[in-house]
Amino acid sequence: MGNHLIAPSILSADFSNLKTDIEMINSSQADWFHVDIMDGVFVPNISFGMPVLKAISKYAKKELDVHLMIINPEKYIEKFAELGSDNITIHYETCNNLDDTIKIIKHTGVKVGVAINPDTDVKVLAKYINKIDMVCLMGVFPGFSGQKFIEKTFQRCSELRQMIISNNSKCQIEIDGGVSDTNARKLLECGANILVAGSFVFKSENPQKTISTLKNII
């Protein structure tokens, strides 16, 4: 535990006042902006795409953690990198050749994340764990903010941490979906390094205070 990062998810922001919410995050204790890109094919929802990422990138003063919930991600990686992504996370389930997709991301110079859905076995990541910067372990089925956290994520996180340790890997663990003050500490104890939080931050009365609460868990 210690030194974990907080990545508020823009999906829960007020899109009619996006600049205000970006500035709120800029002046908060948050570390990254988590940006959810959904295609309505891999997930049953469409969020936003490149023009909105471009707008976020214009005002955001922290790293952009771009989570691609899209099929054929390899087609768009270069563009997302050009738009200012610092991390690009693709889904294991969407890649026919994950090794190639990892290489494409690395070639753009941004950090590589691989996300897995709650029903994908953590073990599938073993052969990639020394090639990627981060695993994004979903705490919900991707598509929507505000869903209930799936409890078996704790155990999956511990299993992933074991895999990382036994492979001598520097890979970080990000938890995305359903994160709140009721599970954050336990997730950190299970080895998480980065916590994404959407509705828990943006639906709270004082989002900056909520971000500090998550950041200051020791």
Q: Which of 39, 87, 137, 142 binds ligand DX5 (CB under 6 A)?
A: 142
Binding mask 53-92 for ligand DX5 (x = CB under 6 A): --------------x-------------------------
Interhelix angle 18-26/50-59, rounded to 10 degrees, is: 50
- Report the C-alpha gap between 164 and 144 in whole angstroms: 29
Return the DSSP state at 150: P
* Residue 9 makes contact with ligand DX5 by CB under 6 A: yes
**Region 51-90 residues binding Zn ion, contact defined as CB under 5 A:** 67
Instruction: Give dist(CA 91, CA 74) in Å, integer.
Output: 11
Q: What SS3 state is found at 6? A: strand
Closest distance of CB 36 from ligand DX5, Å: 5
Catalytic residue chosen out of the listed positions 21, 36, 39, 65: 36
Which is nearer to Zn ion, 4 or 67 (by Cβ)? Answer: 67
- Which residue in the block uniquely carries the two structure tokens 């990062």? 5
DSSP state of 148: P
**CB nearer to Zn ion: pick between 81 and 137:** 137
**In this complex, which beta carbon is closest to ligand DX5, that of residue 8 or of residue 191?**
8
Residue 184 vs residues 26, 87, 88, 211, 216: alpha-carbon distances, Å? 22, 22, 23, 12, 11
CB atoms closer than 10 angstroms to residue 126 = 14
DSSP 8-class letter at 43: S
121 labelled catalytic: no
| Contacts of ligand DX5 in 159-178 (CB under 6 A) | 176-178
Asked about 176 being catalytic, the answer comes back as: yes
| Bridge partners, 130 (sequence order) | none
Contact pick of 21, 39, 63, 176 for Zn ion (by CB under 5 A) = 176
**Rule CB under 5 A: is residue 36 a binding residue for Zn ion?**
yes
Q: Which does 39 bind (CB under 5 to 8 A by kind): Zn ion, ligand DX5, none?
A: none
C-alpha 73: how far from chain center: 15
Catalytic positions are: 36, 176
Residues lying near ligand DX5 in the complex (CB under 6 A): 9, 11-12, 34, 36, 67, 140, 142-143, 145-147, 176-179, 196-200
